[in-house]
Structure 1
C-alpha cells in the first residue's frame, strides 16, 4: 500500500509538473510577443510623438515667422484713425502718398478685396517688414513662409510675377537675405499703381470718403466737392 501511495504521489507530482510546464510555456512564449508588441508600441508611439512634436514645432515656427497682418496685429491693419481732408486729397496726387498713409492703405486694401487682389497689398506689407529683419535664422524662416504664402504656385494667395522675377527669387532662396523679395515687391507695387490705383480713385468709395471728411471739417466744402465731381464727370464724358 505504501508503495502504491508513493507511486500515485509520483504520478500526481509529474502531472502537476507537466501542467505547470504547460501553463508556463505559453507564458514564456508570450513574453517575446509582448516584448515585440511593447517594442512596436514604443516605436509607434515614438514615431507619433516625434511626428506630432515636429508638426507642432513647425506650426509654432510658422506662427512666429508668419506675416499675416490680421494675426500679427500690424498697425496698418488695426483700426486706423480717421484721415483728414488733406490726407484724403493727397491720395489723389500720387500713389506713393496713398501708400504712405495708414488710413490710405486701409481704404485701398478694402477696395482690393472687392477686386479679389488683396494679396498684393498683403505681400507688399510683409516685404516691408521683412526688409527690417536682421537675424539670419529668422530671415531664413520668414523667407520660406513668404515664399510659400505668396510666391508658390500652390498658394491661394499667389501674387502675379513674371518669370524673370521668379527666377531671381528662386536663386535668392538658396541663401535668403532681407532683400530676397525686393524685385518682386517692386513689381507688385508697380502693378497696383498702374492697374488698381486709378480705378480706386474713380470709385464712389473714395469720393464719398472725401466728401464725408470734408463735411465734418466744413459743411460748405462738401457741397463744393459735389460740384467738382460733377464737373470732372462732365468733362470726362465730353
Structure 2
C-alpha cells in the first residue's frame, strides 16, 4: 500500500496553465524580454529583440556591430561560389575596408585584404564576427538591458500579459449591465 501511494505521488503533477490557459511546464522556454535578458544569443535569435537592440545601438552610434554580426550569419548560409564572392565583397566593403561606410572596429581587419574575397568560405569572417559578438556581449548588451528601450518594452509586455483578464472582466461587466 505504501509503495502504491508513493508511485501515485510521483506521477500526479498539479496542472499549471500559462497566461493563455494552455498547460505549462517548468521547461517552457522564456519569451520576449525574459528571453532577451537571459543571453545575447537569445536576443539575437529573436527578430523583435534584434530590432530593439539595433534601436539602442543606433543611439550609441554602434549599430554597425550588430549589422556586421547579422551579415556574417547570413553569409554562412550562402550557397554557390559566385554568391559567396558577392556577399563577401559586400561585407568587406560595408564593414571592414578602410573606406567602409559602417566600419567595425576589429583587430586583424588590416590583414584581411581583398584578395581573400576571391576564394570565400563560410567561416572566413568567423574570428572577426566573434570579436564583435564579444564586444557587444561585454559592452553594449549589459547597457541595453538597463536602457529605456528594453525597460519600456518589458513594461508594455507585462501590461499585455495582464490585459486579457482585464478585458474579460470588462466584457462580463458590459454583458451584465447591457452597456
Q: 1:139 aligns with which of 47, 59, 84?
A: 84
For 2:63 and 2:133, locate their aligned partners in 1 and report how far apart those are by CA, in whole Å.
12
The structure-2 alpha-carbon separation of the partners of 1:86 and 1:142, relative to structure 1 and needing over 3 Å to count, comes to closer
RMSD over aligned Cα atoms: 1.7
Q: How does 1:171-210 map onto structure 2 within 5 Å? A: 172-210=116-154
Q: 1:116 aligns with which of 61, 71, 74?
A: 61
| SS class of match (1:199) | helix
Runs of 4+ displaced beyond 4 Å: none
Higher helix share: 1
Bigger RCO of structures 1 and 2 (CA < 8 A, at least 6 apart)? 2
Q: 1:129 aligns with which of 61, 74, 78?
A: 74
Q: How far 1:166 sits from its partner (Å)?
A: 4.2
Q: Unpaired runs of 5+ in structure 1?
A: 1-84, 220-238
TM-score of the aligned structures, taking structure 1 as reference length:
0.52
| SS class of match (1:134) | coil
TM-score of the aligned structures, taking structure 2 as reference length:
0.68
For 1:86 and 1:137, locate their aligned partners in 2 and report how far apart those are by CA, in whole Å.
39
Who is 1:99 aligned against?
Answer: 44
Q: 2:155 aligns with which of 211, 231, 234?
A: 211
Structure index of larger Rg: 1
Q: How far 1:124 sits from its partner (Å)?
A: 0.9
Q: 2:96 aligns with which of 133, 151, 154?
A: 151
Q: How far 1:121 sits from its partner (Å)?
A: 1.1
**How many positions carry a matched residue from both structures?**
133
| SS class of match (1:92) | helix
For 1:177 and 1:160, locate their aligned partners in 2 and report how far apart those are by CA, in whole Å.
22
